[in-house]
């Protein structure tokens, strides 16, 4: 038991050394989380980052967070990851998070830059990636992804590299987004296309 407590406090101390913040409790872990953190990665938290905001006992689902060398998570507000999320930041990548949440079983692959704004509601089984990872004809298409404010993203949506989602947009369930989404539009399909303009939504 003493050994386990020692390991726990060493782990907590390591996490604290990576956090830049003025908040008393910037990082809240409410569920099983598997960390794989480089010593040179950083959390810059102006608010709160929560892992496992909604949890179920004995599901066996963990949140996975891997951060490679010099990667960074920036939080402005309170951001929540629900159970089962799988997040990887590659070398020198930056993940910027606003006052929003991502539901269960989401996957994030950040090679360079992914930004999620404020008041976004992102459903389960969501995938976002800013790179193809592998090269095709000499190009892996690594380009920043930006989700602006007040965006509603349905279940099983995939957003690919280089996409900007405008303010107030809605992305229908099952869509694969390969191009920019205009503000206040409803898009859907594979690939996603504009289905309706001038939409408004609220929780």
Domain 2-52+61-196 carries which CATH code? 2.160.10.10
Residue-wise pLDDT for 137-151, tens only, equals 888 899 999 999 999
With contact defined as beta carbons under 8 Å apart, do 46 and 21 qualify?
Answer: yes
DSSP 149-201: SS-EE-TT-EE-TT-EEPTT-EE-TT-EE-S-B-TT-EEEETTEEEEESS---
- In the chain, domain spans: 2-52+61-196
Q: Which of 111, 134, 150, 184 is catalytic?
A: 134
Residue-wise pLDDT for 159-184, tens only, equals 999 999 999 999 999 999 999 999 99
Residue-wise pLDDT for 85-139, tens only, equals 999 999 999 999 999 999 999 999 999 999 999 999 999 999 999 999 898 888 8
Q: Which of 124, 69, 62, 130 is nearest to 96 (CA)?
A: 130
Write down the pTM of the prediction.
Answer: 0.87
Q: d(Cα 172, Cα 133) in Å, to the nearest integer?
A: 26
134 annotated active-site? yes
Pairing between strand 192-196 and 186-189? Answer: antiparallel
Whole-number pLDDT of residue 138? 86
CA 29 and chain centroid, separation = 16
Residue-wise pLDDT for 47-78, tens only, equals 999 987 665 556 667 889 999 999 999 999 99
């Amino acid at each position: 038991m003493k050994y386990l407590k020692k390991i726990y406090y060493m782990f907590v101390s390591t996490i604290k050394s990576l956090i830049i913040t003025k908040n008393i409790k910037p990082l809240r872990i409410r569920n099983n989380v598997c960390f794989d953190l480089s010593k040179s990665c950083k959390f810059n938290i102006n608010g709160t980052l929560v892992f496992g905001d909604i949890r179920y006992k004995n599901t066996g689902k963990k949140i996975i967070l891997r951060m490679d060398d010099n990667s960074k998570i920036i939080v402005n507000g309170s951001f929540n990851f629900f159970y089962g999320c799988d997040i990887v930041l590659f070398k020198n990548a930056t993940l910027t998070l606003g006052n929003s949440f991502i539901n269960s079983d989401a996957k994030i692959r950040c090679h360079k830059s992914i930004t999620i704004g404020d008041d976004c509601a992102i459903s389960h089984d969501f995938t976002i990636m800013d790179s193809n990872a592998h090269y095709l004809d000499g190009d892996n298409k690594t380009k920043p992804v930006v989700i602006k404010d007040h965006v509603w993203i349905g279940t099983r949506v995939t957003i690919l590299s280089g996409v900007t989602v405008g303010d107030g947009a809605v992305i229908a369930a099952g869509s694969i987004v390969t191009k920019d989404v205009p503000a206040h539009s409803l898009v859907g399909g594979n690939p996603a296309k504009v289905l309706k303009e001038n939409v408004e939504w609220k929780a």
